[in-house]
Structure 1
């Protein structure tokens, strides 16, 4: 047995990640490897004295979150990895992933072990990718709506001229107007198919779930949509929670759900109508409302809205085509996040789509409570 102990200790010492063992009964760290000094700029022999200050440097929104999981880990073998942020004055915060382990000997002595990996580079890459995708998806929706509107107008004018204007004998004007009408209609179809393909492709990729402040990450596409409201032809507004509200979501997929629902609201809301998004915190959940004052949804259609290739599909007010898949995909993605989506609507009075997803687990104490107490 000592040979095995030496082997694993040597492995821990050689690791670039911080590895530690904490004795619950004694209330202190009994082992920490040399990486502690490199990663945290501390002195390993003084780790127990330095630990309170280190915990105070946790991001305020992560202190109660970590304390919640620590309280669970001390009760039995832990299963969850936890990602937390460490603050550095005047520098970007540092991301760590804590992988816990649990061991109890024959005498009942409980040791909690763990590996702390610095995942800052990966997290910043993911944040930048999510930011890019959010802006891209919102911009595509704005451009597709604007271009579709222009092509639909050309199509309608061409159709009007072909029906109302008498052309000279043997004139090719009716033929040219027919070509213009067909080309405009095909262009609208192509634009919508491009957006639908983007949504379908994203929905078929694996989930990349992270604990994020929902209001902060969704502010990006909402800002884009608000900036583009002149092109969209509607009054668009949004409201976010006053305090951070965390949930475990795939930012890219969830952004596309939001944009898809906002796009549907635009489709069925007359020009100069309003579309609004509200994000609120509820007991254990985050709620997202997408509201409009459009034409509403007939009561007979509502039970079928979220079915694939639904018989409730209908063209938009400006002739926008629909595949009947968008709301079904939205429902699937929301359910992947252990959430629910539902609608309330009356004809002529608009619609409200509501998404509810679980909040990331926290304790009952305020989110800014000190995490030092979790080791007391």
Structure 2
């Protein structure tokens, strides 16, 4: 009955649909033909209305090869769930640039048959904009983390040398001692400000609301590791290794939050790994889930600190090799972000033999 009411005034609906920029359509599953599509649909997919109405199968040839299994899976879900929203995929139209499409559709069933109605829109510019934001955000995160670790060492050295000066100048004039105390206080303030800034950046990115989108996680990980490799041997003396599938691995993630958690795991590995040490990042596609691994050959985690490692304001917090401070929130926020994605995080470690952290996250 619902479908009969919905399509009873089809001419009026069609006139309204023509006034919007979105591509509207009605597809008959019984005849495998479009019953209706507006001008925006023809423009979006590069087909005339006559050709699209006569041969809908031509559209299948435009689907990006890597996205076809995903779309077949979404179609199967539509048949059971009757509604699908925010389906993002790519099309490749001859002599045109690749496009990202966002599709929303519903299934209507009646005695006469079954119809799929919905709309699609070109989100290519939005995807490009988001990719650039993520690229520069990843660059910012890795740069800030590297600078915080690298600058911690000279600040700590300054504080240590000042303590020696204080010992030597015990009997000196009070003016000199006051200057030494002033230098010491400012060195400590500078070190604290750097770490506080990094901590606040991470805390602000961990708000509870998720905004998921379909992303190639391998592409994002490559950008992140490339940023670190650009600075290895310079600001930071570590070896970074990335192992992942050659084919894209698509997931539905709040990519800003998830990559911040991913980046923070690497940051912790840097903090507890000596110079010239190795940090290995692995991405493993497990069909319905993806396993992320960050392994280092650093100083490891003492056994007595391991049980409370993921606690908020944990007692397991400790300074890094170069004196980097911790407020004890990093691991709890990583766990929170992973769990919001319906995943889990855990680790394995022996003191003096490095640590390996795992994040297992569903693709959807």
Match of 1:371 in 2: none
Match of 2:345 in 1: 341
Q: Deviations over 1:267-307 (max 9, x none)?
A: 22233322222222224221111111222112232221111
2:213 maps to 1:210: yes
Equivalent-residue separation in structure 1 for 2:95 and 2:170 (angstroms)? 74
Equivalent-residue separation in structure 2 for 1:91 and 1:240 (angstroms)? 30
Equivalent-residue separation in structure 2 for 1:151 and 1:91 (angstroms)? 55
Contact preservation (8 Å) 1:342, 1:355: yes
Does the C-alpha gap of structure 1 residues 32 and 53 become closer, same or farther in structure 2, counting only changes over 3 Å? same
Instruction: Give how far 1:172 is off.
Output: 4.3
Map residues 68-83 of structure 1 onto 2, 5 A cutoff. 68-83=73-88
Instruction: Give how far 1:69 is off.
Output: 1.0
Structure 1: gaps spanning 5 or more residues: 361-376
Match of 1:351 in 2: 355
Does the C-alpha gap of structure 1 residues 245 and 323 become closer, same or farther in structure 2, counting only changes over 3 Å? same
Equivalent-residue separation in structure 2 for 1:167 and 1:308 (angstroms)? 42
Match of 1:170 in 2: 173
2:300 maps to 1:296: yes
Cα RMSD for the two superposed structures: 2.1
Instruction: Give how far 1:329 is off.
Output: 0.7
Does the C-alpha gap of structure 1 residues 168 and 92 become closer, same or farther in structure 2, counting only changes over 3 Å? farther
2:113 maps to 1:102: no
Contact preservation (8 Å) 1:78, 1:101: yes
2:245 maps to 1:253: no
Match of 2:50 in 1: 45
Contact preservation (8 Å) 1:159, 1:178: no
Equivalent-residue separation in structure 2 for 1:179 and 1:217 (angstroms)? 44
2:16 maps to 1:16: no
Match of 2:237 in 1: 233
Match of 2:123 in 1: 119
Does the C-alpha gap of structure 1 residues 268 and 187 become closer, same or farther in structure 2, counting only changes over 3 Å? same
Equivalent-residue separation in structure 1 for 2:189 and 2:98 (angstroms)? 50
Q: Secondary structure at the match of 2:204?
A: helix
Q: Deviations over 1:21-68 (max 9, x none)?
A: 111122221221222233233221221445333221211111111111
Match of 1:58 in 2: 63
Q: Secondary structure at the match of 2:303?
A: coil
Does the C-alpha gap of structure 1 residues 274 and 40 become closer, same or farther in structure 2, counting only changes over 3 Å? closer
| TM-score, normalising length: structure 2 | 0.91
Does the C-alpha gap of structure 1 residues 89 and 176 become closer, same or farther in structure 2, counting only changes over 3 Å? farther
Equivalent-residue separation in structure 2 for 1:207 and 1:295 (angstroms)? 34
Deviates more, 1:205-214 or 1:282-291: 205-214
Contact preservation (8 Å) 2:150, 2:236: yes
2:36 maps to 1:31: yes
Q: Secondary structure at the match of 1:115?
A: strand
Deviates more, 1:118-127 or 1:87-96: 87-96
Contact preservation (8 Å) 2:153, 2:323: no
Instruction: Give how far 1:168 is off.
Output: 6.2
Does the C-alpha gap of structure 1 residues 35 and 236 become closer, same or farther in structure 2, counting only changes over 3 Å? closer
Equivalent-residue separation in structure 2 for 1:300 and 1:67 (angstroms)? 50
Map residues 308-319 of structure 1 onto 2, 5 A cutoff. 308-319=312-323
Match of 2:223 in 1: 220
Map residues 188-203 of structure 1 onto 2, 5 A cutoff. 188-203=191-206
Contact preservation (8 Å) 1:141, 1:195: yes
Number of equivalenced pairs = 358
Match of 1:184 in 2: 187
Instruction: Give how far 1:356 is off.
Output: 0.9
